[in-house]
Amino acid sequence: WPGSGGTRGGAAMDLFGDLRRMNKRQLYYQVLNFAMIVSSALMIWKGLIVVTGSESPIVVVLSGSMEPAFHRGDLLFLTNFHDDPIRAGEIVVFKVEGRDIPIVHRVIKVHEKGNGNIKFLTKGDNNEVDDRGLYKEGQNWLEKKDVVGRARGFLPYVGMVTIIMNDYPKFKYALLAVMGAYVLLKRES
């Protein structure tokens, strides 16, 4: 095997050799560096939640129900400002009681009552029927409390990494291991 010292386990031995040669101070520094990266990512996520008003400001489209508007793997950016009225034609992400995964569909009908309450009906652009079959039993309309956010922008296919990691858990763990090893073993220049 080229570059592995002539053995199959050469790459793994090089990795463990690097870890053994690293003094405790370097190891602590790298672990702290890794912790800073993770905490920075969490702070950015929490900041996005505050700025967008959405509990989940970025979501991945998991099915083809919104094609051609959005495809499986598209990354959506959401906002959820409660003052903005919900209108027909708008694309919303909503959660239904009894389902863990939010759904991305278009609002097709809106009922506004005199007291300010709004109820609305959704449908996937690529679906034949509206979403009443997806709502909890006996529910015919969604309310503002069911909305996670409204689509404000998207990046095509960027979320495919998330779909691959969910479909192939071994790939996810391998990717996390490689990223962790890189951060821990990265040398200061």
Positions annotated as catalytic residues are 65, 105, 131
As a whole number of angstroms, the distance between CA 163 and CA 63 comes to 10
Report the candidate in 134, 112, 113, 114 with the shortest Cα–Cα distance to residue 122: 134
As a whole number of angstroms, the distance between CA 152 and CA 76 comes to 7
Q: How many CA within 13 A on the CB side of residue 69?
A: 19
**Cβ contact 131:123 at 8 Å:** yes
Helices 160-167, 169-185: crossing angle, 10 deg rounding = 110
